[in-house]
Structure 1
Amino acid sequence: MKHHALISCILLKKNTADSLFMTVALFKSMN
């Protein structure tokens, strides 16, 4: 159970980093 929560946390952080990167890329392409 604890192991599964750890994996979920890592995936969530990876998703957040990916969407942040995409947002920055979008802003750069617009400017």
Structure 2
Amino acid sequence: MPCSGLSVDMQVAHIWGLIELLDHTHPTSEEM
């Protein structure tokens, strides 16, 4: 797979997107 780096970037972006969504919908321990 010559585009393995691109797929990894997409996966990382997707993971960070989920983390940001969770941060916006659920209060973090620091905020509590």
> Normalized against structure 2, the TM-score is what?
0.75
Runs of 5+ unmatched residues, structure 1: none
Q: CA RMSD in A?
A: 1.5
Larger fraction in helix? 1
Runs of 5+ unmatched residues, structure 2: 28-32
Cα offset, 1:12, TM superposition? 0.2
